[in-house]
Structure 1
Amino acid sequence: MDKTPILYWMRRDFRLADNPALTACDGRPVIPVFIRNHSVDDLGAAPKFRLGRAIGHFAKLLEGKGGRLILRRGDALEVLRDLVGETGAEAVVWNRLYDGTARDRDAKVKKALKEDGLAAESHNAHLLFEPWTVETQAGGPYKVYSPFWRAVRDRDVAPPCRVPDLTWPGDWPESDRLEDWALEAEMNRGADVVAEHLLLGEEAARDRLVAFIDTRVTDYKDDRDRMDRDGTSNISEPLSYGEIGPRQCWQAGRRAMEQGSKGAETFLKELVWREFAYHLMFHFPRIDRDNWRAEWDEFPWRQDNEDAKRWKRGRTGLPIVDAAMRELYVTGRMHNRARMLVASYLTKHLMTDWRVGLRWFEDTLVDWDPASNAMGWQWVAGSGPDASPFFRIFNPETQAEKFDPDAAYRDHWLKGAGAEEFARAIPRSWPEDPQDPPPVGLKEGRERALKAYEDLKS
């Protein structure tokens, strides 16, 4: 067996199970490496903080097995070349990412390494269906979710690959210290408060998935919209960092569906909604920056403004909106129904550009995902593919009555333990909680948004 070391370049795959790149090392001494480059530096505060926790947790996991995680800073190709020279490695493996920046970088790295005479292999660990493998009958990308779902729902998905037998090199290259990277430095709020709510690591993610399938997936179709219940899978956070793989989730959902669980298909559809987001980002890489529908470039959205600042701080005066924004600030996550509600309120009642909200979520979500965030905001705003019609404007009061009927969710974040956590987490620079009324009446805001929409069409 070849005993020359192999470099395993990590990005968003902090797990041992179902890790194709790691499995491809196939018994050779493996040197796991994480590179801090501009793509890491450009992350928002909460994703960067959460990434640091993922790195630290996985490093300890490797240490428990006699290994190490090598940390380096710099241009990815330069760092990998340096490590090849230091270790004698003859191969580099990694798992693919699908946003435009990552694709361009990875293509450059693969080409250069091969020209250097090295083996360079990339694998799929992040998606069920890679974007170029799903096409319409005309041969192009899908732009609507429903036919995309029908195209993939009966496809065979490879089972999770085995956990490899890991071997390590005799000598290790030098590594940066994680604490010197200070990935938590930009958290302008209580990082210690947010840390209490993290679902961190492969084992915790697997336990959460098992518990969901065993106890909640049956009622998932009905309960997933209830903000006052623990009815969701709550695996978006570890899925974003690759602490659990989509094939593991798909396999668990299919097994539950075969056993007659009525909510399992809905769970699978939500996994495919994430796949659809990456399908769109792959084929339309500017979806996180530009209106997908060009006609929306003329819509009179406001840029960042005082009303949007109140929205960010959970101080709009609308209880359900404020509760959701405070949940985000304390936990780094937000219930999916609440995400749609607050996005609708910002883009329609407050007439604020969806990119203002996208950037706030990008900075505050620990489960931030570039494709899902972009598609979600454009879907609610009405400017994106397969979008919710602009005239569908959520009424926060009726949404609260339907999905938080006893006000348990609102009370927790505005009066109860959640409110106490919020008080500990907010920056001291924020002004005291005002008692002002909402910045715009619900009827007035709705009518203003609809008029702007009619003007755009005409």
Structure 2
Amino acid sequence: MTTAAHIVWFRQDLRLSDNPALAAAGDAPVLPVFVLDDAAAGRWATGGAARWWLHHSLDALGRALAERGAPLILLRGDTTTLLPELAARSGAAAVQAGQLPEPWARRQADAVAAALARDGRALHLHRSTTLRDPKELRAGSGNPYSVFAPFARKLLAGGDPAPPIPAPARLHGAPSPISSLPLAALDLLPRPPVPDWAAEFGTVWTPGEAGAQERLHRFVGTGLGHYAQRRNDPAIEGSSGLSPHLRWGEVSPRQVWHAAVAAMGGDRTRAEPFLREVIWREFSGYLLWHRPEMPEHALRPSFERFPFAPDATLLAAWQRGRTGYPIVDAGLHQLWRVGWMHNRVRLIAASLLVKHLLQPWQDGAAWFWDTLVDADLGNNSASWQWIAGAGTDAAPYFRVFNPATQARKFDPEGTYVRRWVPELRKLPTAFIHAPWEAPEPALRAAGVRLGDTYPRPIVDHATGRARALAALRTLRLPPAEAEAP
């Protein structure tokens, strides 16, 4: 008797190894499928930079699946119609897929499950993008965690995750009754008359499972042992660079976890400075699962009333990296050029936007959503709420970073700024992070004309800080939360 096929619905798990949905199909014939459904995602449809990544990741996944005997089917449109139709026409027994925390993705999965059930079929969801099921971890009160530290302790106390599942050597591909679209039909890349803003992305990134594994092995082999010392230096490759690979599931968090622990000789405590970053990603997705309003609304209700002063001109200057603060402008230039920004610089740039400039954190999050190759709804939202003081476990709003001070601390020689703000390259190190402090002869010698070749600060730090604290006081928070002692 012929075994009925299983549809493997790839979502944000674009890999063959450690893919529980693929493994669940067992020895049955498989129909691998990816559906681009922007309408279901709505305003959270994949942003421009992440679409570039998705194009190349799907290309890599398609080639890997074809080599194993099961070509990838690419579809575009309403998933709740296309998947049940594919199941009915192919006679598939079930659909296997990964579970996602995004509110729209959960609604989509529920609708697909209901449509399949009407035809006597089932959707089986598997934990493929997280270490733990977000429904499992609870505080002692029985409520979901809202603070990172106890969440991290609970997760660590649970021991290492299960070992990753090896990739199948071969797959039994089932014939598809529906023709796959060509990858170009998904329209994921910039095309004329739009300039190719992604031209430099490929010089930095290699999307796909093979690229993810190469970067993981390089990091645990040469970078992990120095991670705690180097992670905050934006001028070097001190971070793992795994975030975009994790965002599209080209590598799983438990693959990352086990590789890090193994590289430290099985001593998890030596790997914990890095593993805690993996857990922060986990916590962000966990918050999104339990607080689906997080991408749009402050998790602390009082911060819904924060008196932001939206200003399109200020926002545009920040987006273009024309704030007059070199470390911030360097970060925004790096973001535009290669689709990524160093995490320490993300914090400094975000702080300037929501505090000095009093712009809504949602506007900064929207810009990152469109320009980051690693744009992840949970991580992006939780991180912006953290810097804006609006999250359940956020940095106090009254901690207003001085961009120049932060830059001198984390980019002491100005190496990062000189790379991404070349018009300041010839400034002496003493003035590279605060060119407005440089004497006129030093500016002339460096070819810098403030207000012309490089902008003056968009706001004075002391003025911006005072205005931010005044805005905070309007919320009438308890003194401990309202202003620095």
State the TM-score, normalized to the length of structure 1.
0.92
Give unpaired runs (5+ residues) of structure 2: 426-450, 478-485
Is 1:92 the counterpart of 2:95? The answer is yes
1:142-161 aligned at under 5 Å gives the runs: 142-156=145-159, 157-161=161-165
Secondary structure, in 3 states, of the residue corresponding to 1:196?
Answer: helix
Which range moved further: 360-369 or 257-266?
A: 257-266
| C-alpha separation in 1, matches of 2:182 and 2:225 | 45
Give the structure, 1 or 2, with the largest relative contact order (CA under 8 Å, sep 6 or more): 1
* 1:304 shift after superposition: 4.3
Counting aligned pairs with the same residue, the percent is: 38
Q: What's the CA shift for 1:40? A: 5.9
1:186-232 Cα deviation digits (max 9, x unpaired): 87652222233223111111111111111111111111011112111
Residue 51 of structure 1 deviates from its aligned partner by 1.4
Among 183, 186, 192, the alignment partner of 1:181 is: 186
SS in 2 for 1:216: helix
Measure the CA separation in 2 of the matches of 1:138 and 1:371. Answer: 24
2:150 is matched by which residue type in structure 1? P
Q: Say which is worse superposed, 288-297 or 2-11, in terms of deviation.
A: 2-11
1:61 aligns with 2:37: no
Residue number in structure 1 paired with 2:111: 108
Q: Is the 8 A contact 1:18 1:162 kept in 2?
A: yes
Say if 1:315 and 1:434, in contact at 8 Å, map to a contact too: no
Secondary structure of 2:157's aligned partner:
coil
Q: 1:449 aligns with which of 464, 468, 478?
A: 468
Residue 4 of structure 1, CA deviation: 2.0
Q: How far apart, in 2, do the equivalents of 1:6 and 1:259 lie?
A: 37
Normalising to structure 2: TM-score of the pair?
0.87
Separation of aligned partners in 2, 1:150 and 1:411: 40
The residue identity in structure 1 corresponding to 2:414 is A
Q: Secondary structure at the match of 1:269?
A: helix
| 1:39 to partner: Cα distance | 4.0
TM-superposed CA distance for 1:262, in Å, is 6.9
Asked whether the equivalents of residues 21 and 122 of structure 1 are also in contact (C-alpha less than 8 Å), the reply is yes
Mapped contact 2:19–2:165 kept (Cα < 8 A): yes
Q: Which runs of 4+ in 1 moved over 4 A?
A: 186-189, 257-263
Structure number with bigger Rg: 2
- Aligned CA distance change for structure 1 residues 98 and 188 (closer, same or farther; 3 Å): farther
Deviations 1:33-60 (A, max 9, x none): 1112124672221122221221122112
2: CA distance between counterparts of 1:433 and 1:280? Answer: 45
Pick which of 206-215 and 134-143 moved more. Answer: 206-215
Q: Which residue of 2 aligns with 1:325?
A: 332
SS of corresponding position for 1:121: strand
Which residue of structure 2 lines up, in the alignment, with residue 234 of structure 1?
241
Higher mean alpha-carbon deviation, 138-147 vs 153-162, is at 153-162
Comparing 291-300 with 239-248, greater Cα deviation is found at 291-300
Q: How many residues align?
A: 445
Deviations 1:419-458 (A, max 9, x none): xxxxxxxxxxxxx986431111011111111121123226
The correspondence for 1:166, drawn from 171, 186, 198, is 171
Q: 1:198 to 1:18 in 2, by over 3 A?
A: same
Please give the per-residue CA displacement for 1:163-204, whole angstroms capped at 9, x wherever unaligned: 224111245631112212211248765222223322311111
Q: Is 1:252 paired with 2:271?
A: no
CA distance, structure 2, for counterparts of residue 170 and residue 261 of structure 1: 45
Task: Note the aligned Cα RMSD (angstroms).
Answer: 2.1
Q: 1:436 aligns with which of 447, 455, 465?
A: 455
- The separation in 2 between residues aligned to 1:363 and 1:120, in whole angstroms, is 31
Q: Which amino acid is 1:292 matched to?
A: L
Gaps of 5+ in 1: 419-431
Residue equivalent to 1:422? none
